[in-house]
């Protein structure tokens, strides 16, 4: 049959690209899960800072105001943990769940907090295009089930989590997830030449969207590194202050006052960073 070989070759390439897209999508979510864990650790650091500040007698009122703002910021993140019923990413043996590679598949295994990670990383902005491209919950679940390797559903992720996941996938990812073995536009055409042409178009779309996802991955990684650095800085400053064992602000030396002010300022920056969202570009 005319163009049969060309059609078969392009459909094989299409399937390869589809698997690569799935891998990149899951890797992106896996990076978001790591960021979520880093942020959770930063919240614990801020709790310790707040306890230290509250234990200081005769402290200036402005410190209480700053501490209150820090508290409000990290509580916002804690509410998300409760809303999505945060689960430890470790199993009973202490091994980390997710963020590894499936044997022979090269696809990241998603952990138990993927919906939480998506919602806290991307929020609910820019979801309109993704949601409007779906014909209903069944289509949404079909797309997420494939993209997440069976680990994701709109219902399981909740409304906000489902929107964030679908927004990350976008129209291209959703179409891939729904289509099955090959893109829907290729299946519907009987002409071999047209099939080959359609497959080439779909491959181009996927490659463009994979570049977008990889760009998002890099932004997630940068935010993770920046948050980790701030967290480590605040921890170090808190430890230094605790070693001084000063509890009465009126007896603080100039050096101790400066250290305390620096820790509070860095804590404010860390609290803001915990809730920073990454826009999903198209």
pLDDT of residue 140: 65
On whether residue 282 sits in a domain, the answer given is: no
Taking a C-beta distance cutoff of 8 angstroms, is the pair 275, 85 a contact?
no
Domain range for 67 is 4-274
CA distance 78 to 52: 20
| pLDDT at res. 52 | 96
Residue 41 lies in a domain: yes
| CA 145 distance to own-chain centroid | 18
Nearest to 39 by CA among 140, 148, 139, 113: 113
Look at residue 179 in the predicted model and tell me its pLDDT. Answer: 65
Cα 92 from Cα 90, distance rounded (Å): 7
Nearest alpha carbon to residue 209 among 109, 129, 120, 132:
129
Does 123 map to a domain? yes
Kindly state whether residue 232 falls inside one of the protein's structural domains: yes
Q: Determine, yes or no, domain membership for 211.
A: yes
Strand, helix or coil at 119?
Answer: helix
**Is 48 part of any domain?**
yes
Give the whole-angstrom CA distance, residue 113 versus residue 151.
11
Tokens of 28: 């992106």
Is residue 170, in this structure, part of any structural domain at all? Answer: yes
Total domains present in the chain: 1
* Cβ(145)–Cβ(123) below 8 Å: no
Retrieve residue 233's tokens.
Answer: 């800085």
Alpha carbon distance 84, 63 (integer Å): 32
pLDDT tens, per residue, the chain with 282 residues:
445 666 677 778 888 888 898 899 889 999 999 999 999 999 999 999 999 999 999 999 999 999 999 999 999 999 988 887 788 776 544 444 454 443 334 445 577 778 888 889 988 654 444 444 445 666 666 767 677 666 565 555 455 566 777 778 777 777 777 665 334 444 444 566 777 777 788 888 888 989 999 999 999 999 999 999 999 999 999 999 999 888 899 999 999 999 999 999 999 999 999 999 998 866
The two three-digit tokens of residue 186, written as one number: 């290729």
Would you say residue 198 lies in a domain?
yes
Query: Is the CB of residue 87 less than 8 Å from the CB of residue 101?
Result: no
Are the CB atoms for 161 and 119 separated by under 8 Å?
yes
- The whole-number pLDDT of residue 55 equals 94
Classify residue 241 as exposed, middle or buried by CB count within 10 Å of its CB (0-12, 13-18, 19+): buried
The predicted pLDDT at position 114 comes to 82
Asked if 256 and 264 count as a contact pair (C-beta separation under 8 A), the reply is: no
Burial (Cβ within 10 Å: 0-12, 13-18, ≥19) of residue 258: exposed
């Amino acid at each position: 049959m005319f163009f049969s070989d060309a059609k078969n070759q392009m459909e094989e390439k299409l399937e390869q690209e589809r698997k690569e897209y799935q891998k990149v999508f899951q890797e992106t979510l896996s990076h978001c899960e790591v960021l979520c864990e880093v942020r959770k650790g930063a919240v614990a650091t801020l709790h310790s800072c707040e306890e230290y500040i509250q234990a200081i007698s005769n402290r200036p009122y402005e410190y209480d105001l700053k501490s209150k703002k820090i508290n409000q910021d990290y509580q916002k993140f804690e509410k998300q943990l409760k809303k999505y019923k945060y689960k430890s990413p470790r199993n009973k043996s202490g091994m980390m769940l997710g963020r590894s590679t499936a044997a022979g598949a090269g696809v990241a295994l998603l952990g138990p907090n993927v919906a939480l990670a998506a919602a806290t990383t991307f929020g609910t902005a820019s979801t309109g295009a993704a949601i409007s491209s779906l014909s209903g919950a069944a289509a949404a679940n079909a797309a997420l089930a494939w993209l997440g390797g069976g680990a994701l559903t709109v219902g399981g992720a909740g409304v906000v989590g489902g929107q964030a996941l679908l927004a990350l996938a976008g129209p291209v990812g959703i179409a891939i997830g729904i289509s099955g073995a090959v893109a829907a536009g290729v299946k519907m055409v009987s002409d071999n030449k047209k099939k080959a042409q359609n497959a080439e178009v779909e491959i181009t779309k996927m490659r463009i969207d994979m570049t977008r996802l990889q760009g998002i991955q890099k932004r997630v990684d940068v935010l993770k590194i920046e948050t980790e650095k701030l967290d480590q800085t605040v921890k170090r400053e808190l430890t230094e202050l605790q070693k001084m064992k000063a509890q009465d602000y009126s007896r603080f030396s100039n050096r101790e006052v400066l250290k305390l002010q620096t820790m509070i300022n860095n804590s404010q920056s860390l609290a803001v960073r915990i809730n920073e969202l990454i826009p999903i570009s198209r």
